[in-house]
Every structure is written in structure tokens, then in C-alpha cells.
Amino acid sequence: MQLLLMGPPGAGKGTQAVKLTEKFKIPQISTGDMFRAAVSEGTELGKKAKACMDAGTLVPDEVTVGIVRERLAKDDCKGGFILDGFPRTVKQAEALEKILDDLNMTLTKVLNIHVPAEDLIARAVGRRICKNCGATYHVKFNPPKADACDKCGGELYQRADDNEETMKKRLSVYEESTRPLIDYYKKVGVYVEIDGRQPIENVTEELVNVLSSVES
């Protein structure tokens, strides 16, 4: 089962990726993880990626695609994987299709957890994080019992980028960059959109149902 998981900032993509990894026993692979592994292993592509990152420049597509190829060829991906953060463009999607073809794989499903912008902004603005243990709360949807962390009693704070203006910018960039990708995968016939406004457990159940029907 070869999956691509998509979703705007704050949609709960990370939470669902963990749950799908546990359910289907396949690795979650993010662009960051791939870069770090390639750099750690000292591969030629890893060295090129490190040079770009050290210089503060974008890693070129050919290097990124090469690192993706190396990672998906590893043994732990033979039973499937969940891609997170790649591809980001139609050009990268076409490159991924070529990689999978070379590895005798095909993309099973593209799962997009969709949440309207106004809901995502409300989620971000109300988010509070424990300075001590990192536990996350929300002033409306998941408030702490007191004005402190329920788990450790630590002080709660609001991240500097959890504000309406910043979120609007992030969502605008996301929409602009991913819309062509969504259209691409709709044409390919593997795109599925999940309503991310539901409770976490319901989103998980819907994702699992979609994938279980593929397996059966």
C-alpha cells in the first residue's frame, strides 16, 4: 500500500499519519526524514542536500527526487509507505510516478485531509502549548482544567506564529502550491478527500475504511 498524505497546516495530518502507520505497519516518510537520513548516511545526494541546507538555499528537484528514490528502494518500503511532504509540485508528482514505476510500484491512494481555512485559523489562534512537556490544548475545543498544563502543571503559551495573519499567509501559499497537485491526482484517479472537521477518531475511521476497501 503506497500512500500520499496531504493536508493544510493544522488539519491534523501528523496525527493521522501516526495512526495509519500503527494500523497498517508501514513507515511514514517525510521529506525532512529523508534528507536527514541521506545526510547521516553520507550519500552523494545527501552531501549535495547538506550543502544547500547549510547555504540556506532550496534543495534542487533533481537532488530531492534522487533522495526519494534512494529511500523508497529500501527494504522497509517493500510492504508500503506513507509519503508526507513530497511531492509538492506536479513536476515532482511526475518524477514520483517514474520512481514507482522503476520499483514496480504504483500509488495506491492520495489522501487529502481537508479543513476550510476559517476553521484552521480558529484552531491555530486558540492553540496553547505547555512550555514544560509540550502538551497541546485549545481554548475552545480542548481547554485545560485550570490555567496550566493538566499533565505536568507547566505554563501554557501561544506560539508567535499562531495568529490570524500568519495562518492566512501560510494557507494562501499552501492553496496556491497544492491546487495543481490535487487536480493532477484527481485525473490519475487515486485522489480521496476526507473531511478533517470531524473528531480525530472519525477522521481515522474514514481513512481506514477507504484503505481497507483497497486491500479487500
37-80 pLDDT, tens digit each: 888 988 899 899 889 888 888 788 899 999 999 999 999 999 99
Is the pLDDT higher at 216 or at 185? 185
CA dihedral 90, 92, 96, 97 (to 10 degrees): 30
Q: Is position 71 annotated as part of the catalytic site?
A: no
- Predicted local confidence at residue 152, as pLDDT: 96
pLDDT at 215 over 80: no
Q: Please determine, for residue 211, whether its predicted confidence score (pLDDT) is greater than 70.
A: yes
Residue 10 CA neighbour count, 13 Å, CB half: 25
The catalytic position among 71, 109, 127, 128 is: 127
Active site residue 88: yes
Strand order of the β-sheet with 156-157 is 136-138, 127-130, 156-157
Distance in angstroms (rounded) separating the CA atoms of residues 55 and 151: 40
pLDDT at residue 31 in the model: 82
Distances in Å between the Cα of 44 and the Cα atoms of 14, 92, 102, 119, 131 are 30, 20, 21, 43, 39
**What pLDDT digit, counting tens, does each position of 155-197 carry?**
999 998 889 999 999 899 888 888 999 999 999 999 999 999 9
Task: Determine which one of 13, 19, 71, 128 is catalytic.
Answer: 13
Grid coordinates belonging to 160: 508567535
**Pick the catalytic residue: 36, 88, 168, 197?**
88
Q: Looking at residues 116-144, what average pLDDT do you find?
A: 92
- Does the structure show a pLDDT above 90 at 113? yes
Percent of the chain with pLDDT over 90: 66
User: Is the distance from CB of 164 to CB of 192 less than 8 angstroms?
Assistant: no
Question: In the chain, what are the domain boundaries?
Answer: 2-116+169-215
Q: How far is CA 106 from CA 72, 178, 204, in A?
A: 12, 21, 23
Of 47, 159, 169, 179, catalytic = 159
Confidence of residue 10 (pLDDT cuts 50, 70, 90): confident
Confidence of residue 109 (pLDDT cuts 50, 70, 90): very high
Entry pTM = 0.83
What's the distance, CA 90 to chain centroid?
17
Which CATH number is 2-116+169-215 given? 3.40.50.300
- Note if 13 is an active site residue: yes
Active site residue 197: no
Q: Are 65 and 76 in contact (CB under 8 A)?
A: no
